[in-house]
Structure 1
């Protein structure tokens, strides 16, 4: 994404130019007011957006393995690419965040409305530029890259610079439509499964697979939400055990029939919201 000199200079001075103090007593926005999430306290970060027509990292969703998330009913426009500090080498894939634009009366929408997003990709650093002058995703910056549609819900796109100050917090993803989805890939001696559409906490930290001729086999994270093991599971019905970062475990028995094929997707149970 390219930024104009004017936009960058505006961001550098936003704390002294047209700034205001956000009133955290607004109904529904205080940390404890009707909040059923994972991290009640707001943290400071920044956000930019990419137009769908321009491509960009979140249009591909490559770092989590989800594919083109813009065409997913589950994720769609409410997806975000995260800087390295937040992405945590892919461990954060699938987690949900509530964000709101703050501290600028011209750029932020009135009342600082919040939007909930799913972490679906990585916002790569650009160490050729300083972190406060174009290298927004450089470590250890905490930064979100949004779709234009999601960005427009928290900021005035026509008025705002390309980057705005925000606050964020981890929240539950709620109940996704349908169950967890397991997409198989690999070969006879190598089995990999992509886990998507995860409700509840959203952040998967452990996966096990079981065939009709095996016990429960712990899988290792390959990248994003792709999990792997070196076992021949062809011709066996498959069950999966998924654990999220809040410690909850969900078991889906016999999700894939004995005739399953690589490339197919099967649906299991779902975490409660």
Structure 2
């Protein structure tokens, strides 16, 4: 009995700590917290197995742009040809375009065992890409980056490899978001590729706000309103809006990340006098 009484302070400390933890967890859950989102960083923590092949030129960037729509950007900094096509299990109908992974190999004599970071820019729909639980069809440059220095060719000659992969945050060394307007855009319709999303890298949703739209109320009064309009994923990293009337720039873009559901606004990023084919850079990014 004396022993039980002497342990009461410890019990209450433990009990109080548990309540604090439960309260904190409850608050996180109420705000949409999901544990799998908490640890995403630029350093890999959770590794899994996958198959890996490569395509395109041995020191190249796979295909010109790929199915995500990044075009010539894949060969230029900050992508710098460190890109990959991905099998259906990870591509997620293009919603994972822009996501970053670290890949490494250890089971071939030419494997360095050191991780290399790659970005999803393309889709590999069939063959081993579809039959493997996860598969990376890397650019020749990215495949060679897993090799011991000087043995890149020997590793590429191995063909299909078993590798390890891990999801990581994208980090483009302070580069801001870019919006490349599609050539088919006009005053009533706009579509653009979104590039260089730091952090999660992929997007769950995109919204557009005009500076002001002239609308007629039920009393036949004309008022200027500004509201967020939901854009649709056209394909890959391309998002579109059929405005149904003339757009009123400058246009602000709101992005919601796929992985952590973080939201960011690029205010007035599409200016007055915007042109199809032009690229407009924001002042912000997720990191």
TM-score by length of 1: 0.75
The residue aligned with 1:216 is: 228
Mapped partners of 1:136, 1:95: distance in 2: 21
The residue aligned with 2:272 is: 258
The residue aligned with 2:200 is: 201
In structure 2, the residue corresponding to 1:198 is in which secondary structure?
coil
Deviation string 1:232-270 (CA, Å, 9 cap, x unpaired) is 454521111111121111111111221112221111133
Say which structure is richer in helix.
2
Mapped partners of 2:77, 2:167: distance in 1: 21
1:87, CA displacement in angstroms? 0.8
Structure 2 contact 58–141 (Cα < 8 Å) conserved: no
Structure 1 contact 96–171 (Cα < 8 Å) conserved: yes
Whether 1:169 aligns to 2:169 is no
The residue aligned with 2:120 is: 119
Structure 1 contact 181–195 (Cα < 8 Å) conserved: yes
In structure 2, the residue corresponding to 1:239 is in which secondary structure?
strand
Whether 1:145 aligns to 2:137 is yes
Whether 1:94 aligns to 2:95 is no
1:75, CA displacement in angstroms? 1.0
The residue aligned with 1:136 is: 128
Note the residue ranges of structure 1 that are not aligned, 5 or more in a row: 1-33, 126-134
Structure 1 contact 63–120 (Cα < 8 Å) conserved: yes
Structure 2 contact 42–171 (Cα < 8 Å) conserved: no
1:202, CA displacement in angstroms? 0.6
1:272, CA displacement in angstroms? 4.2
CA 1:45–1:170 in structure 2 vs 1: closer, same or farther (change >3 Å)? same
Deviation string 1:20-44 (CA, Å, 9 cap, x unpaired) is xxxxxxxxxxxxxx98359731110
Mapped partners of 1:222, 1:215: distance in 2: 21
Mapped partners of 2:117, 2:175: distance in 1: 19
In structure 1, the residue corresponding to 2:154 is in which secondary structure?
coil
In structure 2, the residue corresponding to 1:85 is in which secondary structure?
helix
1:105, CA displacement in angstroms? 4.4
Mapped partners of 1:233, 1:225: distance in 2: 24
Structure 1 contact 180–270 (Cα < 8 Å) conserved: yes
Whether 1:73 aligns to 2:73 is no
Mapped partners of 1:35, 1:256: distance in 2: 30
CA 1:60–1:216 in structure 2 vs 1: closer, same or farther (change >3 Å)? same
Structure 1 contact 85–139 (Cα < 8 Å) conserved: no
Note the residue ranges of structure 2 that are not aligned, 5 or more in a row: 1-38, 213-225
1:217, CA displacement in angstroms? 0.7
Mapped partners of 2:283, 2:262: distance in 1: 13
1:224, CA displacement in angstroms? 0.6
Deviation string 1:183-237 (CA, Å, 9 cap, x unpaired) is 2232333221211111111111111111112411111111011111111454521
The residue aligned with 1:240 is: 253
Mapped partners of 1:141, 1:202: distance in 2: 22
Could you say what the CA RMSD is over the residues aligned between the two structures, in angstroms? 2.4
1:115, CA displacement in angstroms? 0.3
Q: Which has the larger radius of gyration?
A: 2
Mapped partners of 1:211, 1:263: distance in 2: 20
Counting matched residue pairs gives 227
